[in-house]
Structures are given as C-alpha cells and as structure tokens.
Structure 1
Amino acid sequence: MDSSLRNLATKMILEKIQRGDFAAGDIISESEICKILNISRTPAREALIELVANGVLDKIPRKGYQVVNTSHKQKLDAYIILADLDALAGRQACPMMTEQDILHMQELVDLIDIAIKYKNYASYCELQEKFHQVYIKRADNLLLSRMLDEIKSSVLRYTYFSEDIDTQFEICRWMNDEHKKIIELFQSGDADAVSQYLEYTHWATKDYELI
C-alpha cells in the first residue's frame, strides 16, 4: 500500500512541477503533501526522497524540499534523450496499434483542443501526456517506459511554457496540430515515418526561450 501511495505522491509532485504549480525555488514540505493527498508521512517522505535522488528536489534542512532550478543545458540534454526514446516507443508501437488506440488518441486531441480553447494549462499538460502514453504503453517495453518516466522526472518541465497566456496557448495549439499528424502517421502504419516525425519534428526544440 505504501508503495502505491509513494508512487501517487511522486506523480502528483511531478505533475504540479510540470504545470508550474511548484516553481523552481519553491519549498515543498511533507505535511503539505500529506494534506493534499490525505496520506501518512511515510509515503510522502519516500516520494520526496526519491525526487531528491532524481535531481528534481534538494533537501533543505529544517525547511523542507526545494524545487531545483534545472539549467538550460540540462533541459536540452534531457530533450535529446526524450526524443530518441519516444521515437523508439513510436516505432515499436506502430505495428501493434489498434483501432481503439487510434480512437483514444483522437478523443484526447479533441479534449486538448477544448483545454486550449478555455486556456486550461493544467488540463493540457495532463491530456498531452495521456496522448503519448497510448503508444508508449502499446510498445509494451517496460524498461523503455521506465526510462522515459525517469528522464521526464529529471527536468522541471518538458512542455513549452510562456508567462504570456496568448503565446502559451498558441504554442499548445500548434503542438496539438502535431499530435493530429502523429495519429495520421500511426494510421498509415509506417513505423519509420512515425519514428522520424517524433524525433525530428515533434521533439525538436523550436523556441529555446520557452523551454
């Protein structure tokens, strides 16, 4: 039970960092995590310690855990690896994708469009991750999935982010257009095209100021 609660706490903290709810320099306490998730201190503490080990948090004596300010180079290094691993997942998944997978991905891009329309960044982040998880899970490679999770957890945010809300959602809009193209490529059954598009287009850094 504690293991599942620890995983839940870890996932929640990472999601809040990705959405910007926890920013670089913010202090997170065990009691805060316990209150948010209504869990005991043990799984909360274990989740925080795990994120320290992953380089996401620093332990600050008598204060709590501080969100690390990831350097520009660290982010770029992580994105290079993410591009390779995500492209590999797409390649492995392509011949095994089902009609239900495609329908699920289409539903998710429709929901992302709604999140963009109402400028709901938290929902956008959650839905776009679910979109990628469809083919990552279909690849059926547990080690690959774990490696992707580990790299994603090593950076504060792996989506583009702008303080200007109009700029932010314009970016989200063209990223979702790319999601629609990814679906088309999976429907074509061309594993090479899927892999190349994911690595060289979808994960390509288009604006270095917004990462």
Structure 2
Amino acid sequence: MEAPKYQSLKDHVYNYIVAKIQDGALLPNQKINEAEICKTLDISRTPTREALFQLTNDNLLEYIPRRGFIVNPFDAKKKLDVSQIIGTLDALAASLAIPYLEQSDLSEMIKLAKKIDAHIEKRDFAEYYTDQYRFHEIYILRCNNPTLIETINLLKNSFIRQSYRSDDKEKMAEVLKEVNGEHHQIIECFQTKDKDRLDSLLKYHWRIIDSEML
C-alpha cells in the first residue's frame, strides 16, 4: 500500500490507525501490532513509532512500558463532554464559512444528504459515516481558520470512532433519519445565511448523536 503523495509517512500511519479505530477493526484496550502495520503499509518502524506516539499525545492510544501501545477506552461521560465541544466548534466553523461557501459547495452538500438518505434505507451505516463526514467537512474546510479545522478533526477522530456501531439496526436507522433531516436543515441555513439558526441547530445536532446512539 503506497502512501499518498500529499502525506508524510507518519501522517499516513496516523490516519490508517485512526480509520481502523473508527471502523471497529481496533477495539478499546486492544494492543497495536507495530510489525503488522509496518508490513501492511510497507513503511519502516521510525515513522510508525512517530505516529503511535502522536496518537498517544492525542489520547487515542496509551503507551504501557514493556507492553506497547493500546487503544484507549472512551467512557460515556467523556463522549458526552467531547460531543458538546464538537457541537460548539462545528457551529463556529459553520458561521465563519458562510461568506466563503460557493454554490458548488451547497450543491455537493445537497447531493450528499440525498445519498445519506439512501444509505439509511439500505442500513449501510459504513457509507453513512463516510458521506456524513464529508458533508460536515465541506463547510469546515471553508471556515478560513486552520487552527479550528485541526482542533475539530482531532476531536472527531476520537469521538466518531464509536458512534455508528449498534446491534439494533432499526433503532439506528430511525435515529439517523432524524440526524440527516438536520443535514437538510443545515443546508437551508447556509442558503438563507441564517447564522443564529445554524448555530443552535449544529449544537443540538451533535448532542442528539451522543444521547441517542451511544
């Protein structure tokens, strides 16, 4: 597997491990197999270790001497705390993005919201995750505040990783229909440049994900 040209090797390993945590391939308290990662990504031990220590600094992993790196558990209270912070920062990014969003951005968001409706009907929650992440990413990247973007992405890496895993697919589908309804409302707020409604909607949007799914 070749690392993308725009990423450092450390970043490539970092993002690979984050993705494995998010999709449930790596579970809380599971030990990281460094040798396997190096072999899979065809990357040497040095950037792999750099990525692992960065993940430790970002609280996604814990380093235990003589045992290695394990995936940090994420308790319900911390999920609630983080979701409230994400909601506030996401709302700020949305407000800042209003003057910078182009019609092509709004068109893409409309397209994604419709795709998400189809994913929910098919109970395809993995595809839901991918497209909802992209939906929010469109306006976040337009906020013109690199520090805010970096902070939101860091928090989402740890929070969203366990948000779409449920044994009750029908309940999950019901919740996600409500959440995607909010995506459609978010688009309307951007179209009308309704900053106040957008702010309150996004803060509620993240709280409802935590209270209903986790």
TM-score, structure 2 normalization: 0.86
Aligned length: 210
Indicate the residue corresponding to 2:73 in structure 1.
Answer: 69
Indicate the residue corresponding to 2:55 in structure 1.
Answer: 51
Q: Matched residues in 2 for 1:100 and 1:8: separation? A: 29
C-alpha change, 1:159 and 1:73, in structure 2 (3 Å) is: same
Matched, 1:92 2:101: no
Q: Which amino acid letter does the alignment assign opposite residue 191 of structure 2?
A: Q
Indicate the residue corresponding to 2:44 in structure 1.
Answer: 40
Q: How big is each residue's C-alpha offset from its partner over 1:109-133, in whole Å with a ceiling of 9 and x where there is no partner?
A: 2222333233332222121111111
Q: Which amino acid letter does the alignment assign opposite residue 196 of structure 2?
A: D
- With 182-191 and 148-157 compared, the bigger mean Cα shift is at 148-157
Q: How big is each residue's C-alpha offset from its partner over 1:32-60, in whole Å with a ceiling of 9 and x where there is no partner?
A: 32244333322222111111111111124
Q: Which amino acid letter does the alignment assign opposite residue 208 of structure 1?
A: S
C-alpha change, 1:67 and 1:93, in structure 2 (3 Å) is: same
CA RMSD for the aligned pairs?
2.3
Matches within 5 A, 1:189-200: 189-199=193-203
Q: Which amino acid letter does the alignment assign opposite residue 128 of structure 1?
A: Q
SS of residue matched to 2:70: strand
SS of residue matched to 2:140: helix
Residue 208 (structure 1) aligned to one of 201, 208, 211: 211
C-alpha change, 1:128 and 1:156, in structure 2 (3 Å) is: closer
Indicate the residue corresponding to 1:184 in structure 2.
Answer: 188
Indicate the residue corresponding to 1:22 in structure 2.
Answer: 26
Q: Matched residues in 2 for 1:206 and 1:150: separation? A: 18
C-alpha change, 1:40 and 1:185, in structure 2 (3 Å) is: same
Percent sequence identity over aligned pairs: 38
TM-superposed deviation, 1:20: 2.1
Indicate the residue corresponding to 2:137 in structure 1.
Answer: 133
Contact 2:175 2:212 in 1 (8 A): no
C-alpha change, 1:115 and 1:8, in structure 2 (3 Å) is: farther
Contact 1:29 1:63 in 2 (8 A): no
Q: How big is each residue's C-alpha offset from its partner over 1:51-86, in whole Å with a ceiling of 9 and x where there is no partner?
A: 111111112445442111112221111111111100
TM-score, structure 1 normalization: 0.87
TM-superposed deviation, 1:157: 3.0
SS of residue matched to 1:27: coil
Q: Matched residues in 2 for 1:25 and 1:135: separation? A: 34
TM-superposed deviation, 1:155: 3.6
Unaligned runs of 5+ in 2: none
Q: How big is each residue's C-alpha offset from its partner over 1:78-114, in whole Å with a ceiling of 9 and x where there is no partner?
A: 1111111000001111122110000111122222233
TM-superposed deviation, 1:163: 2.2
C-alpha change, 1:56 and 1:207, in structure 2 (3 Å) is: closer
Indicate the residue corresponding to 2:121 in structure 1.
Answer: 117
